[in-house]
Amino acid sequence: MSPLFDPRAFALMQLARSFYEGNPQLLAIDQGYRYDQDGPTEDVVIRVHFLGLGPGDVQKPPGGEELELMFFGTEGQVHRKYQEPWCRPQRRLMPGLSIGFKNPCSLGLIGVDKKDNNRPALLTCRHLFGPNPKPNAKVFQPAPRHQRGQSRQQILRTAIGRLNRISTSVDAAVVHLNGRRRASNRLFTGSQQRRLEITRLRSAKLGEILVKSGCRTGVTKARVDGVGLLFTGVDQEPQRVFRLVPVPTTTGSNREISAPGDSGAIWMDPEGSAGVGLHIRGELDPKKSNEYAFALDLELVCDEIGFELMQNVT
């Protein structure tokens, strides 16, 4: 039986959720790899992630001795600059490019809106539009922040569409495209020559290696380290996510895989051309060893919000 469907594992996840869900420092509960002093092992356990707490701050519930408790800092981290090629106006819309309403994020998936006569659309993150989204808000490529020095009229000419709707259950939004630019689901990779195109969707697999293109960190590679639930507030329902960590380099160092501006990027399987996750957040911990990212299950997001992947859209 797969460890993701083991009855004991499911019972432990339920126990952890009922015991910790009211804790405002709770970040996630997932099933993933156990860590020791040397890093991740191949043992699969139920893990509970906390922000801003230490081992002496949290107790395990009765019957939860097998739970793995993990702790991460919340201090601000200095991130790299935005990737210049990703932040220029491009003739073709592609996943990873800088887009924005006000704050920058990364262009996600190109497709059609099944709830509105299959109109050409793109999928991105809800939080791009702030806590009170403006109806029909214009979306630009690149984001206005990356067009400093341009006049208002010049910026308005870079509009690619308008917000149509947001999801109330997951961090996702649908933007209707205006058809002024061609579009495809081939990842924007800058000067890299490798062609990475999303042709289908599927769920994440524990241990697999995925890649994404984001306007802050460029093309990055990461390992699926856990699958479970992300808690974004005590009054909100958790979101089904998977957790990613950097793939160690030959020098033993971990590369940054997430930074502000990468939200909306698509994690994909480079060998099978499958879109797997919608990137929604990374870590705040300044320790390089604690680098991680979370992504929504892309297939579930598309089903929930009524979005369909299209190949060779325009």
Q: Let me know: does 243 contact 281? Beta carbons within 8 Å.
A: no
pLDDT computed for residue 8 by the predictor: 85
Q: Say how many C-beta atoms besides its own lie within 10 A of residue 54's C-beta.
A: 10
Residue 66 lies in a domain: yes
User: Is 58 a member of any domain?
Assistant: yes
Q: Give pLDDT, residue 25.
A: 93
Residues 68 and 100 in one domain: no
Domain that holds residue 40: 1-74
Within 10 Å of residue 53's Cβ, how many Cβ atoms? 17
Where does a domain end: 130, 151, 184? 184
How many Cβ atoms are within 10 Å of 176's Cβ, its own excluded?
Answer: 20
Please check whether residue 172 lies inside any domain of the structure. Answer: yes
| Class of residue 100 by CB neighbours under 10 A (exposed 0-12, middle 13-18, buried 19+) | buried
Classify residue 198: in a domain, yes or no.
no
Query: Residue 32 falls within a domain, yes or no?
Result: yes
CB within 8 Å of 275: residues ≥ 6 apart: 109, 185, 198, 200, 201, 202, 266, 267, 268, 298, 309
Domain presence at residue 249: no
* Residues 55, 100 share a domain: no
Q: Is 23 a member of any domain?
A: yes
The pLDDT, as a whole number, for residue 285 is 67
Q: 93, 302, 246, 105: which is closest to 178 by C-alpha?
A: 93
Q: Which residues of the chain have pLDDT under 70?
A: 1-5, 75-80, 193, 234-235, 249-254, 285-288, 311-314
Q: Please give the helix or strand (H or E) that residue 302 lies within, else none.
A: helix 298-305
Which pLDDT does position 48 carry in this prediction?
96
pLDDT for position 300: 95
Taking the C-alpha atoms of residue 146 and residue 144, their distance in angstroms, rounded to an integer, is 5
pLDDT, tens digit (0-9, with 9 covering 90-100), for 90-124? 999 999 999 998 789 999 999 999 999 999 999 99
DSSP type of residue 37: T
Q: Which of the 8 DSSP states describes residue 2?
A: -
pLDDT tens-digit profile of 148-157? 888 888 888 8
Residue type at 93 in one-letter notation: L
Do 118 and 42 reside in the same domain of the chain? no
Which of 168, 184, 200 delimits the end of a domain?
Answer: 184
Q: Are residues 67 and 131 in the same domain?
A: no
pLDDT of the residue at 202 = 96
Residue 57 domain-assigned (yes or no): yes
CA distances, 222 to each of 15, 133, 148, 257, 267 (Å): 29, 31, 32, 7, 9
CATH of the domain at 132: 2.40.10.10
Looking at the structure, tell me whether residues 129 and 66 fall in a common domain.
no
User: Based on the domain organization, do 50 and 129 belong to the same domain?
Assistant: no
Total domains in the chain come to 2
Q: What is the pLDDT of residue 232?
A: 80
Same domain, 113 and 179: yes
Pseudo-torsion of CA 248, 251, 257, 258, nearest 10°? 130
Domain boundary among 145, 162, 184: 184
Are residues 47 and 2 both part of a single domain? Answer: yes
